[in-house]
Structure 1
Amino acid sequence: MFTLETVKHLQSLSARPSVTITLPTSRHAPDNQKDPIRLKNLVSEAVDRLEAEYGKRETLKLRETVHELAEGVDHEHNLDGLALFASADYHEVFKLPYRLPERVVIDDTFLTRDLVFAMNRTPQYWAVMLTEKPTRLYLGRGPDLQEVRDHGFPREYSGPGTGVTVQMGIGASPSREIERALEEFTRQIDSGLHEAVKARPFPVALVGLSENLGMFRRVSRNMELIAAEIEGGHDHLSPHDLGELVWPQMQAALRQRRQEIFGQIEQASGQGRTVTDLNEAWQAALDGQVDVMVVEENLHFPAQISGDGRHLKLLPGGEDAPGDAADAVDEMIEHVMQRGGRAVFVDDGALASHGGMVMLTRY
């Protein structure tokens, strides 16, 4: 599954020229029959630009790589978007479960803004099926769930109440021993979930009977991670059907969290932890000071980077040269994410008083 770690890896790569090609695709015929033609046209554009900007002989191998990547795509099994990345040191194609714009970018680094934007629009999340037989962990994007067999999952209860003989002292209550064992079992689930979220910081949906949900609430140290709870005995559902059940409630919870960012902006502003000036925002991103970068969905602009790398100058003509940032917003997103921050996209015009972008700093 294409994850945030994939994006961070792409952001860590640097080579000039680096080619990024993205386009929307279709899952089903006859619409997917148009995808090879659209990709071929974008590849032709990329190849022509490589020859013109970097030389025919100098880019021969890279142009061959781009052609080979495109020719290797099986369009019968497309998803909603396709992204092709190629440089002297790296080449890969990804089929993605969200739509991407039709775009060709050639720069020092790969363009990841569209990926980050798409991932924010259809974010990933964890889903935990709380049951003793067994508790399962899923990684979700939209209604698509994929079971994760890591962090101690799946985990099955095998303590008192399952036919296991347990030595108890005089006056001990069997029901209390079962409850204690179930509490310990739930703590182990909570610990495993904590490790999963630590590795991939996504919100969590809990699914289970009311007694299992109640037990989790009592013993969990990670309730702040829980975005949604779905009550009921749904452990018989397939991952597909479970995803169809969980996603609408998770979507509503995530929509509410997205609206909460404006309260966070107001609070951070009162604490002197917001930056809106272009150069201050750029420097905060470079220095790892940004906790959350809030940006309007379609804000983008090229900029000239100073010799020391610390200042930006807008290029109103829309033309960038070698050493410039084709999209300064994308560059800032990359720096923020590489340093442990996150990007949140909001509707166009929502940050008009902040110039379309605001950084919430850590201090």
Structure 2
Amino acid sequence: MNKMKLANKAFSLQEKLVELLQVKESPCISIIKQNDNPSINNDKLRIEIKNGVKTAVEELEKQGYDKRLIKKLEERMTALEESVQYNNYLRGVGLFASANVAEVLYFPMEVKPKVIVDDSFEIRDLLLQVNRTFQYDVLVLSKKKTRFFNGFGKDLHEALDSDIPKGAEDFLKRENKAGVDPAKTESIALEKYARELDHFLRLHAPMQMPLILMGDVKLLGYFRKYAKRPNKIIGEIEGSYDDMRVSEISEKINEQLQAFSEKWEDQLLATIQDDIDRLRYTAGIQEAWQAAAMKEARMLLTERGYRVEGYSTKDGLFFVFNPEFAPDGDFHEDAIDDLAEMVLAQGGESYFLAPGKLEKFDKVLLTTRF
């Protein structure tokens, strides 16, 4: 399993992909590599990425870009290559470069290897794959040490970073003073531990990312008491997990993952109930498409597994099922994916819920800005 170093985790992978989706300049270089055999050093991946940079330079030359621009972009790509954290158990890596962009992204899922030079970054498939997968964070509280994980479906990836607070024992030692009531000392120390963990999450976890807690029952209680965003918590698993392997922790979570996911979905629906009561929403693919095309979208909820094909009119404002009503429009093989991309590109949110959750909304619910 991956042990990943935090890289400004306050921005989720999906948010980073949305940022790249909106970049329109020429050239945009996308180097995406799959890691078929994850290992500590990832020697094969090093070679793949180096060759990817070489291929991108050759493609720039083939497309006739200015030599000075090619030199600048080659230096930028080389710098990105050298910044890759190869000592992680990576599933995939993406290097994205242009005259104004330089970004390395780590993927917790399988990716299709490619090197593309175009007027936009090649990330649509990646974005839609990430958007369709249930993501969450896991925080393990312990006297010995604190552990933090990023969950992607059934996969779990441990993050290693100096910013992660130490275990509760470290806080107890700081507060231990002669002549002071031990019970009072413990209460003060554990409150500080809980507040420090909460501060860490606010810096390194996206605001909407659901959270699973694991650890000692007393520590879990303190965290719940002092957490600034208690609604993020979708589940707790009591026990000691100091030295447990990532694969074993993943098994523990997967036993209850469906229940955790359902709770998060219920919480998500509860957060938009006011929008529903005030009729600030649309239901069904056609109404949702029109609202998104008019840039009124806020949050899109769709049932998992629901697919629909159809046509958008020439101006893009309407979605129809009969091509006769859109003679000069575009065909959409999977309109749900296209709608999700439209919503994400304008700063909205998109989530997929269990089948049946949105039956009364014709499987598609979109809250609107007005």
| TM-score with structure 1 setting the length | 0.63
Structure 1 counterpart of 2:232, one-letter code: L
Partner residue in 1 for 2:257: 251
- 1:9 aligned to which of 19, 28, 48: 19
Structure 2 SS opposite 1:164: coil
Partner residue in 1 for 2:322: none
Partner residue in 2 for 1:291: 299
- 1:359 aligned to which of 358, 363, 366: 366
Partner residue in 2 for 1:171: none
Q: Please say if 1:332 is aligned against 2:340.
A: no
Partner residue in 2 for 1:130: 141
Q: How far does residue 346 in structure 1 lie from its aligned partner after superposition?
A: 4.8
Give the RMSD, CA atoms, in angstroms.
5.3
Structure 2 SS opposite 1:332: helix
Gaps of 5+ in 2: 320-325
Structure 1 counterpart of 2:127, one-letter code: V
Does the 8 Å contact 1:139/1:146 carry over to 2? Answer: yes
Does the 8 Å contact 1:291/1:362 carry over to 2? Answer: no
Deviations 1:235-272 (A, max 9, x none): 2335x356435541563344314653895599454541
Taking structure 1 as reference, are residues 217 and 254 closer, same or farther at Cα in structure 2, changes over 3 Å only? Answer: closer
Partner residue in 2 for 1:204: 211
Taking structure 1 as reference, are residues 333 and 107 closer, same or farther at Cα in structure 2, changes over 3 Å only? Answer: farther
Deviations 1:66-97 (A, max 9, x none): 9x979x7999x995445464545446665522
Q: How far does residue 116 in structure 1 lie from its aligned partner after superposition?
A: 3.2
Deviations 1:128-153 (A, max 9, x none): 22223344444444222113432755
Partner residue in 2 for 1:223: 230
Partner residue in 2 for 1:146: 159
User: Percent of pairs identical after alignment?
Assistant: 19
Matches within 5 A, 1:161-310: 164-167=177-180, 174=181, 176-189=183-196, 191-193=198-200, 195-196=202-203, 199=206, 201-238=208-245, 240-241=246-247, 243-249=249-255, 251-257=257-263, 259-260=265-266, 267=273, 268-275=275-282, 276=284, 277=287, 278-283=289-294, 286=295, 289-294=297-302, 306=315
Taking structure 1 as reference, are residues 131 and 91 closer, same or farther at Cα in structure 2, changes over 3 Å only? Answer: closer
Q: How far does residue 347 in structure 1 lie from its aligned partner after superposition?
A: 7.1
Partner residue in 2 for 1:170: none
Structure 2 SS opposite 1:143: strand
Does the 8 Å contact 1:99/1:118 carry over to 2? Answer: no
| TM-score with structure 2 setting the length | 0.62
Structure 1 SS opposite 2:367: strand
Deviations 1:277-308 (A, max 9, x none): 2221222xx35x503454766668886785xx
Matches within 5 A, 1:100-119: 100=111, 109-119=120-130
Alignment partners' CA distance in 1, 2:156 and 2:358: 30
Gaps of 5+ in 1: 168-173, 320-325
Taking structure 1 as reference, are residues 249 and 266 closer, same or farther at Cα in structure 2, changes over 3 Å only? Answer: same
